[in-house]
Amino acid sequence: MAAAAHELAEDHAEVPKEWGKNLVACLTCKLVKTQEQFLDSGCENCVTQSMMGDSDRVLECTTSDFQGLITVLNPGSSWTARWLHVGKCKPGCYALAVAGDDVLSYEEPEIED
């Protein structure tokens, strides 16, 4: 069962392999995957969180309480990515806001192009 999800290029974060109640977002970078995927391969952006293989860490570092979902394909050039402060993160699916975030506190981004 474990091998199928690893066919994406290495510089891409995994995308959620299923959409449902198992989806959780990384509290640090807002990457969205299933709890199982975080357990399986950790967070591609937050390797220092050591979530891989540690379900307690996954529970600590992720939340199912998030809002919105966007797919970021080019974090370096996407204004949404800059707005979400994931400009240096890997392409993947990101939550617009996670628990504790005040969505309204985000300032309108300056669009340069």
- 43 binds Zn ion per the rule CB under 5 A: yes
**Residue 5 contacts by C-beta under 8 Å, 6 or more apart in sequence?**
14, 17, 37, 40, 41
- 93 binds Zn ion per the rule CB under 5 A: no
- 29 binds Zn ion per the rule CB under 5 A: yes
Tokens encoding 31: 């990457």
- 37 binds Zn ion per the rule CB under 5 A: no
What are the Cα distances from residue 40, in Å, to 44, 52, 74?
Answer: 11, 6, 24
**Out of 34, 37, 41, 45, the residue judged to bind Zn ion by CB under 5 A:** 45
* Least distance between Zn ion and beta carbon 46 (Å): 3
Catalog residues that contact Zn ion under the rule CB under 5 A.
26, 28-29, 31, 43, 45-46
